[in-house]
Amino acid sequence: MDKLFEILKYLFLGLFQGFTEPIPISSSGHLVLAQHFLGIEIEGMSFELFVNTASLIAVLLVYRQDLSRLAFNGIRYISTREEKSKADFRFIIYLIIATIPAGIIGVLFDDVIAGIFKEGTQLIGITLIVTGIALWFIRNLRGRKNDAQLTLKDAIIIGLAQAVALIPGISRSGATIVAAMGLGMKQETALRFSFLLFIPISFGGMILSFSDIISDPNFSSLFIPYAVAFIGSLVASYYSLKWFMGIMARGNLKYFAFYCFIAGALAIIFG
């Protein structure tokens, strides 16, 4: 019975992380809050990295056509310099550039970031409110920039926004979408750039932390619960992202701002 309860506990955490990963409310912050208020303690970072990998696979599935097009046109531009493939080639370059700030900060300050997770729920409550304020400011923006109109400046600013989102409670998707829409991008372009940007930073984190996952003393004993959480996160991330794409198309970001205000306040009061 205890084993079944443990599996259900990890399934819930996987579903919870997967659902919150694509939407702009900070999955890392919510995972900390869920563990705190449910009295669940998971040592180390391997669990979060494990379920984040599931979310990465979900993003790859949702954006598989965009990825195929970018890869094909990127290679074609390099080999033929065909003008109509240039926009996709530049898009790839800007994704690489935007990945650099979070990549550098993540490597240099990994221990500091891990320590922030242990600072308590009040800090996450504050950063959730900050996320809500940012979402509120851009809730009515309707940009005009499409994929072909992105600039180097746009890539750098969005990359810096993603680096700020390494702080628990600051949503990665929220920070990058806020930056992108603040720079005048269309909702569709902002969303695509944000989640394609998630791929290299998530993949890099997975590679760098692979040894930590394998050496985690909890990994072998909790392989089945971790596997169940992985599947839950994969399914939840896929459908949550599909749902969020529809919300972005309708411009209903204000509801996420309201949610962050409420969740942040509750975390501060009851944490």
The SS3 of residue 145 is strand
| Rounded distance between C-alpha atoms, residue 216 and residue 211, angstroms | 8
> Which tops the pLDDT comparison, 254 or 31?
254
> Which tops the pLDDT comparison, 205 or 21?
21
| pLDDT tens track for 127-167 | 999 999 999 999 888 889 999 999 999 999 999 999 999 88
| pLDDT tens track for 27-38 | 888 888 887 777
**Cβ atoms of residues 254 and 82 within 8 Å:** no
> Which residue type is seen at 164?
V
| Rounded distance between C-alpha atoms, residue 179 and residue 163, angstroms | 12
User: Which of 268, 271, 265 is CA-nearest to residue 133?
Assistant: 265
Task: Kindly tell me the burial class for residue 43, based on how many C-beta atoms sit within 10 Å of its own C-beta (0-12, 13-18, 19 or more).
Answer: exposed
Q: What is the mean pLDDT of residues 99-120?
A: 75
Q: Which residues contact 75 (CB under 8 A, 6 or more apart)?
A: none
**Cβ atoms of residues 56 and 203 within 8 Å:** yes
User: Which of 258, 193, 202 is CA-nearest to residue 233?
Assistant: 202
Of all helices (H) and strands (E), which one includes residue 20?
Answer: helix 2-20
Q: What is the pTM of this model?
A: 0.91
